[in-house]
Structure formats: structure tokens, C-alpha cells
């Protein structure tokens, strides 16, 4: 908003057409579900969803959700010997088989992970929901195959049990799109330089609306805004970094105009 106000008050700054898009529900992956790309009418974009001053993010996780459901056999607990198969216990055994080295708490940099986010169910049916993440999209298939393999191993330990598994695409690594449009990142780096900031290209170990927008036809990396301690009780934002982000944006629109 400060960037928009600044440009409205500074008619001497020459720039091309600018579109400003506010997206709700970004944190649950629905931020751009209702965006009319024809109405937006933008060739390139930048999300303002980053962290420390100087970071420029052009890569993010490719992401799928995956659900594994185990079905047991219900019986009266007083007469259950040799009959009952408790789906909750089947699921609990399955969870213990997950590789520790593929957990979020044990991964960093470009390492992907398999993360159970919720468990529900009872005696007859129990379900675990996963999020699957990797910077290489093809590895998501390997992660699903691993979960299927572990589920098959599990039901062998519980005769009478069975399982179903399903997955859904969430978002993809925007680098797959940005590689075809290198000027989008290069122009941003030039704007950082003009703002006396060292441009540090980083990856996002998560997602951003820019990833979805990139695959909707608008290449869209992510610029810093001073977000710190993201998704923790200590989350805060740096006013100084926000001010610097505005300076970068003002320089950025001029870079695009001059290089058009």
C-alpha cells in the first residue's frame, strides 16, 4: 500500500502498467483460487511474502497431499479374541515405519520430507493425512510409492486389515516456470542493487501464492518483507525491512521500464 501511495504521489517516476492483487487464504493454499487471470492482465509478477531483507526466492517445494486409510474388523471387545483388528493400532504401527530422515525436523536446504499432519478414526477405520514436499516434482511420486510400500508391510502384520491411499496435487516448484523467463529474477536483482542491497537468492521450504500464479501463466518470484519467526509464537515483522522492500519495488518498476 505504501508503494502504491508513493507512486501516486510521484508522477516523475516512469513505469509501465501495474496491477496490484491482494490474495486471501494464502496460508491454506487457496489464495489464488478465484483469481481471474484475464482481468488481472499481467505478464509478470512478484509476491510480497518473504523474510529477511535481501532475500529473493525463485524456488519452492513441489507439494502434494496424501491420505492413507486403514480398515480393521470390528467386534465386541468382550468376545474379540481372534476376530478384532483395531484400525487405530494398525495405523500406529504404520507411523512407526516412517523413515526418520524424511521428517521435517530432520531435513533442511533442498531435502524433501514426508509429514503426517493429522490422524483421525476409531476401531474400524483410521486415517492419517500427509503433506509431501520436495523441490524435484518427480520425487513426490517416489514418496507416495514409499507410503504405499509401508502400508502393505503394515497390513501383513495385521491379517484381515486393508488400506486405501489417495493423493492430490497442491502446488509446484515455480523454478520450472522461472527458468523460461530469467529476466524476472534478473530485474529483481538489479532493483536490489539499486537499493544498496545484496541480492541473496534462496529457496522456500514451503509454498507461496507466486508458485500457483506462475503455473497460471504469470511467472512470479517472491520478494522479502521482513517476516521473522514465521509460524511460531515469536512471529513478528521488521518495519525497517518493509520500508526497504518498498524502495526495492520503486526501483523494480523503473528497471522494467528501462529494459522494456
Same domain, 166 and 72: yes
The CATH number covering residue 69 comes to 3.30.70.360
Q: Which of 171, 206, 232 is the last residue of a domain?
A: 171
Claim to verify: residue 124 and residue 72 sit in the same structural domain: yes
Examine the domain organization and report whether 66 and 166 are in the same domain. yes
From 149, 171, 193, give the residue that closes a domain.
171
Report residues of the chain scoring pLDDT below 70: none
Shared domain for 227 and 246, answered yes or no, is yes
One domain for residues 186 and 213: yes
Are 72 and 121 found together in one domain? yes
Are 69 and 167 in the same domain?
yes
Do 182 and 53 lie in one domain? The reply is yes
- Directed axis angle between helix 2-9 and helix 239-259, to 10°? 50
The domain in which residue 103 lies consists of 62-171
How much is the mean pLDDT over the chain?
A: 96
> How are beta strands 200-204 and 55-60 bridged, if at all?
parallel
* pLDDT given at position 25: 75
245 lies in the same domain as 212: yes
Q: Is the dihedral of CA 18, 20, 26, 30 positive or negative?
A: negative
Provide the grid cell at 113.
520430507
Q: What is the CATH number of the domain that holds 16?
A: 3.40.630.10
Instruction: Examine the domain organization and report whether 69 and 163 are in the same domain.
Output: yes
The answer to whether the pTM exceeds 0.85 is yes
145 sits in which H/E element: helix 138-156
- Considering the domain architecture, whether residues 56 and 66 belong to the same structural domain is answered as no
Q: How many domains does the chain have?
A: 2
Residue-level pLDDT at 24: 84
d(Cα 259, Cα 257) in Å, to the nearest integer?
Answer: 6
For residue 17, the model assigns a pLDDT of: 96
Boundary-marking domain end, from 137, 171, 205 = 171
Pair 95, 70: CB distance under 8 Å: no
> Residue 221 CA to chain centroid, in angstroms?
13
CA 216/CA 84 separation, integer angstroms: 49
107 and 157 housed in the same domain: yes
Amino acid at each position: 500500500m505504501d508503494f502504491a501511495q508513493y507512486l501516486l504521489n510521484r508522477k516523475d517516476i516512469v513505469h509501465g502498467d501495474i496491477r496490484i492483487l491482494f490474495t486471501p487464504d494464502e496460508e491454506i493454499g487457496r489464495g489464488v483460487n478465484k483469481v481471474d487471470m484475464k482481468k488481472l492482465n499481467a505478464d509478470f509478477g512478484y509476491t510480497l511474502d518473504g523474510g529477511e531483507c535481501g532475500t529473493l526466492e525463485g524456488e519452492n517445494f513441489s507439494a502434494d497431499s496424501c491420505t492413507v486409510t486403514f480398515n480393521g474388523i470390528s467386534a465386541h471387545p468382550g468376545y474379540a479374541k481372534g476376530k478384532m483388528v483395531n484400525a487405530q493400532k494398525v495405523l500406529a504401527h504404520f507411523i512407526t515405519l516412517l523413515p526418520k530422515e524424511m521428517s521435517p525436523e530432520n531435513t533442511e536446504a533442498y531435502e524433501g520430507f514426508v509429514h503426517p499432519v493429522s490422524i483421525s478414526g476409531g476401531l474400524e477405520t483410521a486415517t492419517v493425512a500427509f503433506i509431501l514436499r520436495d523441490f524435484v516434482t518427480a520425487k513426490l511420486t517416489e514418496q507416495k510409492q514409499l507410503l504405499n510400500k509401508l502400508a502393505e508391510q503394515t497390513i501383513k502384520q495385521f491379517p484381515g486389515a486393508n488400506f486405501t491411499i489417495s493423493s492430490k496435487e497442491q502446488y509446484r516448484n515455480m523454478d520450472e516456470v522461472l527458468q523460461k523467463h530469467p529476466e524476472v529474477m534478473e530485474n529483481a536483482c538489479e532493483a536490489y542493487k539499486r537499493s544498496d542491497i545484496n541480492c541473496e537468492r534462496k529457496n522456500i521450504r514451503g509454498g507461496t501464492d507466486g508458485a500457483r500464479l506462475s503455473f497460471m501463466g504469470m511467472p512470479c518470484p517472491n520478494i522479502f518483507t521482513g517476516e521473522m519467526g514465521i509460524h511460531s509464537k515469536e512471529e513478528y515483522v521488521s518495519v525497517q525491512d518493509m520500508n526497504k522492500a518498498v524502495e526495492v519495488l520503486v526501483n523494480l518498476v523503473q528497471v522494467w521500464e528501462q529494459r522494456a
